Structure 1
């Protein structure tokens, strides 16, 4: 039995429970400039931010869309990110359950010698009832702080999954355009090798007839073997790039997509839609990795509340309600029912500095999370700035290289004509061939860089994530404050 003052004390404790010692959280100021050096805050009144443009609308090539869908369904890294959410969700439920009492049904039977010297030789005891064991009344918010930390950890894993998808979508697009560039480079190398093999035959014929020197012939052979080596190198690189794409997809490249690559030129690939850069402050809400870092900061901040609460008393309640009797047949009879409540309080007095060290660790972890959050913002700012800086410069570079390519093509025709008429040396012709071959490859690489820059800008601005795609890939529910 309990005295009358106990319910009053318990009621007061319950009313005061939920007192939080968590420091007030305020979002830190972004440690970056207010504007991008070469940004375009908006392109039109109806312009959408990258985070609002689904990847299906940004990448309009049906083949690339097919590959991205396959990766969202089969990529193992994305699957692990989804499973991490389930784990964090379960961990949150475990922590939240500590706020409620655990009620157990217990039955007990004992038999011991009677040491009183009277009555039966042995004493029997039987009891059945419900028991609440050491239910901590969260007077100073320790458990609530741990719950808030676990919730923020759960939300951070949600953002990590979104960040994983944006990276995956961008990686698949990058691998696809790289594979197209490999195909075009292979075609250039094959055509060049075929032309040079014909040049070797012609040089050999001219050497055998005494029209040309052996030096001309050996130079033609050297240039041909160089083209053959370049072709072998590019074939190997194409295989490596295809293997990288297969890993992202989680399965082999579909045969119809693989067959469609042959003869593809990057100049035929349409540019992606223009997207506004917005302001650096927009990244705080548009980039999943920044939101993930902020949730981890919130979690670390909440852990300080739990560390502070460790300095105060822990109030726990143990209770029982059931029936007890010295005879098994006496259970559940009138008069055998009863209950007991036993509150307890534990106040730390001496712990050799354990609680102080725990609080210091929590504060340092909060400072670490803050630095990581600021670093995430700075990294995002740099990625966007790099992509924006490259837009106009890459356009100028490609225009200049295409003009140079036309000039080199004309130069090769003139060099061949002059050599055939004996006006120029064979060395001039070989130099024109080398220059054209190199410039053709450089032009393809420049176009690839331009396409990859557009992908990078889309990803850097938070594009590539949609709720429907994530749900389909993971099979889990959407984000909620109450998992």
Structure 2
């Protein structure tokens, strides 16, 4: 009857175990503008929207070899291992034991005066903490949330890396386009200087006009030198992002980048629900769940801790008798621990966990607000730059026409050479500004992709 009572009691404790003391998590709702927005869908490989094979290849290379990606992947592995450890604590542990010892006892204890003896033992030991208050399950839940948060952090690192690679790529492509523009201008300036020098030698123009043509030629060459210096620095920055070694960095083949990709078409408006796909928001949310579960872990210390221990095996003074039925031994019993007075340690730990939760809540709200701001700013910026790019295109057409008119008028003696030089310089600056604005537009679109946590795909 006694054994039956004990069995029923243990079964009841096991059934009641897992009671969670963590509070119900109330995720704050962030009020966003009430504007009619068009739904967009996330496209995992959003960078392919630029239709640039070289860019696609470089990003794939970076995702495979970048050092930050490798470190982030290891953090995910560690978080998963931590969860596995906490999950294993929910189950009993069974260990095999074996000992051989030689001992000497006090001559004043045993009546048979057995001062020296040998002890042999083999057995199994069982330990199991009943998760009556949900301490172990809450710890496992916290670690699981941290594991999910680490996966979201990995995605943030990935998006940042992709953004950095594209930025470096656009810088190089823009430099290449500007160098090409300068090369064309330099060649025109060289031909112009040669022609004006011949005119000066023939006495048809004065030395000032020939010198001005030479100065313009030298100025364009100096500007090209600055761009070439910047290009070298950008190539090194891109190589680092691709995870190349120092040898590959300086001896390896440089990627072929010769033009900016075409901008993509941005749909009008975004869905506020799309912000939930941002990995940093998901990471903050998982951290909220982790901190909330830890409150339950700390609260469980207020209540008794109940563990079950048991052992079964053989023990004998002689190894030859170790497996005799009479050498059998066993033991079983619960361990009960209840805090009585700890100078407020448990209460302080609970309050600390609550403070951590409040910090996580504020961090979550801050992340959502920042996400919406980044998307709003990126959309506004993209629209403004689109208009600016159109103005630059019209500006180039106007300066091309102006240069044609002034050159014709100069040849007919109706204009001076300074007007031609001014038209050439204006056309050069307008062309360079157009390339820079196109790069800025592409950068704003990349920032929008990143702000949305991945981009969109209207055909999904």
Task: Return the TM-score normalized by structure 1.
Answer: 0.84
Distance in 1, Cα, partners of 2:378 & 2:138 = 41
Distance in 2, Cα, partners of 1:431 & 1:417 = 14
> Cα deviations across residues 31-85 of structure 1 (Å, max 9, x unaligned)?
53344xxx7514xxxxx51x14643752422222222222222222222222211
Distance in 2, Cα, partners of 1:5 & 1:119 = 42
Change (3 A) 1:401 1:68: same
1:359-378 pair list within 5 angstroms: 359-378=350-369
- 2:136 aligned residue: 143
Deviating more after overlay: 226-235 vs 216-225: 216-225
- 1:109 aligned residue: 100
Say whether the 8 Å CA contact 2:406–2:420 is kept in structure 1.
yes
- 1:473 aligned residue: none
Is 1:356 paired with 2:347?
yes
Query: How many Å apart are 1:96 and its aligned residue?
Result: 1.2
Is 1:74 paired with 2:65?
yes
Of 313, 329, 332, the residue aligned with 2:304 is 313
Distance in 2, Cα, partners of 1:32 & 1:383 = 13
Query: How many Å apart are 1:294 and its aligned residue?
Result: 0.8
Change (3 A) 1:193 1:16: same
Of 33, 38, 42, the residue aligned with 1:41 is 38
Say whether the 8 Å CA contact 1:34–1:279 is kept in structure 2.
no
Distance in 1, Cα, partners of 2:400 & 2:253 = 34
Distance in 2, Cα, partners of 1:276 & 1:405 = 28
- 1:127 aligned residue: 121
- 2:264 aligned residue: 272
Change (3 A) 1:214 1:174: same
1:66-465 pair list within 5 angstroms: 66-110=57-101, 111-113=103-105, 115-118=109-112, 120-133=114-127, 135-206=128-199, 212-251=205-244, 258-259=255-256, 261-262=257-258, 264=259, 266=260, 269-272=261-264, 274-275=266-267, 277-284=269-276, 286-463=277-454
Say whether the 8 Å CA contact 2:316–2:327 is kept in structure 1.
yes
- 1:471 aligned residue: none
- 1:474 aligned residue: none
Question: Per the alignment, in what secondary structure is the counterpart of residue 238 of structure 1?
Answer: helix
Distance in 2, Cα, partners of 1:210 & 1:355 = 100
- 1:30 aligned residue: 30
Distance in 2, Cα, partners of 1:190 & 1:305 = 69
Q: How many residue pairs end up in the alignment?
A: 449
Say whether the 8 Å CA contact 1:318–1:343 is kept in structure 2.
yes
Say whether the 8 Å CA contact 1:160–1:288 is kept in structure 2.
yes
Q: Which runs of 5+ in 2 are unaligned?
A: none
Query: How many Å apart are 1:343 and its aligned residue?
Result: 1.9
Distance in 2, Cα, partners of 1:31 & 1:112 = 77
Distance in 1, Cα, partners of 2:255 & 2:93 = 59
Question: Per the alignment, in what secondary structure is the counterpart of residue 167 of structure 2?
Answer: helix
- 1:12 aligned residue: 12
Distance in 1, Cα, partners of 2:338 & 2:115 = 44
Query: How many Å apart are 1:187 and its aligned residue?
Result: 0.5
Distance in 2, Cα, partners of 1:373 & 1:25 = 13
Query: How many Å apart are 1:194 and its aligned residue?
Result: 2.4
Task: Return the TM-score normalized by structure 2.
Answer: 0.88
Distance in 2, Cα, partners of 1:3 & 1:230 = 94
Say whether the 8 Å CA contact 1:166–1:464 is kept in structure 2.
no
Say whether the 8 Å CA contact 1:277–1:461 is kept in structure 2.
no
Question: Per the alignment, in what secondary structure is the counterpart of residue 326 of structure 2?
Answer: coil
Deviating more after overlay: 121-130 vs 18-27: 121-130
Say whether the 8 Å CA contact 1:313–1:348 is kept in structure 2.
yes
